[in-house]
């Protein structure tokens, strides 16, 4: 089941990605809408992280293409932000919280330019938004996992992009950080920015997202949550491995999940 977005920001066309000649994603064909908070859901090994890495041109494609704002990535790179999984980052690298967030400004500075006072003010404002302004001079290695994730989010906000790809931003964070991140992502979509999130927790997915992509190497479904977050499509995505289907189904039934007309 694939529903076309009325105002697409991202288009995957016939996308196939392989690792060592073994396909990880097969023939992904879909569009994702402007101004949505999109959840990419599926079992381990389904290719969720691969999907957004392919959009960021971090992996070679076996076939197909990705268009962002109807352009190749290189044409719109300054409008796109990517937040990788926290586990993929070397947190022992000697740098401060402020330096990490300022990295989000480099696309605005151009080659060899140094951050200006205005850039530092933007970075500081972004740290305030994520509740990390008191940690400006702290080494990133001295932060907890949740604090590191907040700093990553501040760096993405400092970039002031129109499209955000985030790989498991809610993984391993406490409830307060989860709530803070979700609030910021919703604020971004209110500004008509698009946020695409790889996510593993089905029960919170029912509450978090406007639009859902169900993935298991192939595209099972993509569309507004009310239309695709169903027992039948979840069963197709997870097969016999899913033990919380009944609970999720009950959650969906209890909640009046709104479907937004603009999608």
What is the dihedral sign for C-alpha 54, 93, 161, 187? positive
Domain parsing of the chain, residue ranges: 8-254
Contact predicate 237/42, CB 8 Å: yes
pTM (2 d.p.): 0.87
Taking CA atoms, 22 is separated from 17, 19, 246, in Å, by: 8, 5, 33
Can you tell me the distance from the alpha carbon of 142 to that of 138, in angstroms, rounded to the nearest whole number? 7
C-alpha triplet 51, 56, 59: angle, nearest 5°: 65
Taking CA atoms, 90 is separated from 1, 93, 95, in Å, by: 39, 6, 11
What is the dihedral sign for C-alpha 53, 173, 257, 253? positive
Class level of CATH domain 8-254: alpha beta
DSSP 129-190: HTT-GGGTTSBGGGS-HHHHHHHHHHHHHHHT-SEEEEESTTTT--HHHHHHHHHHHHHHHH
**What does the pLDDT profile of the chain (263 residues) look like in tens digits?**
666 767 789 999 999 998 877 889 999 999 999 999 999 999 988 999 999 999 999 999 999 999 999 999 999 998 999 998 877 777 677 889 999 999 888 776 665 577 788 888 999 999 999 999 999 999 998 998 889 889 999 999 999 999 999 999 998 888 888 999 999 999 999 999 999 999 988 889 988 999 999 999 999 999 999 999 988 899 999 886 555 555 555 555 555 444 444 44
Can you tell me the distance from the alpha carbon of 216 to that of 199, in angstroms, rounded to the nearest whole number? 13
Neighbours of 179 (CB within 10 A): 11
């Amino acid at each position: 089941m694939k529903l076309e977005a009325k105002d697409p920001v991202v288009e995957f066309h016939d996308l196939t990605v392989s690792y060592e000649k073994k396909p990880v994603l097969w023939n992904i064909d879909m569009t994702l809408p402007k101004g949505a908070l999109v959840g990419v859901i599926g079992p381990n090994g389904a290719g969720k992280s691969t999907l957004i890495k392919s959009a960021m041109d971090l992996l070679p494609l076996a076939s197909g293409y990705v268009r962002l704002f109807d352009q190749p990535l290189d044409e719109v790179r300054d409008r796109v932000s990517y937040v990788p999984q926290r586990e993929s980052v070397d947190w022992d690298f000697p740098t401060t919280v402020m330096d990490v967030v300022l990295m989000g400004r480099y696309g605005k500075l151009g080659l060899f330019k140094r951050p200006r006072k205005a850039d530092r003010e933007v970075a500081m404002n972004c740290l305030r938004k994520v509740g990390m302004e008191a940690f400006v001079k702290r080494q990133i290695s001295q932060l907890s996992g949740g604090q590191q994730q907040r700093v990553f989010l501040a760096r993405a906000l400092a970039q002031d992009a129109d499209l955000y790809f985030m790989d498991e931003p809610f993984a391993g964070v406490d409830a307060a950080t989860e709530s803070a991140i979700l609030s910021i992502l919703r604020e971004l979509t209110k500004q008509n920015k698009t946020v695409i999130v790889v996510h593993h927790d089905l029960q919170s997915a029912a509450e978090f997202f406007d639009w859902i992509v169900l993935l298991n190497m192939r595209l099972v479904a993509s569309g507004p949550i009310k239309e695709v977050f169903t027992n039948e499509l979840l069963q197709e995505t997870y097969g016999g491995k899913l033990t919380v289907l009944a609970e999720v189904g009950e959650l969906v039934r209890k909640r009046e999940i709104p479907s937004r007309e603009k999608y």
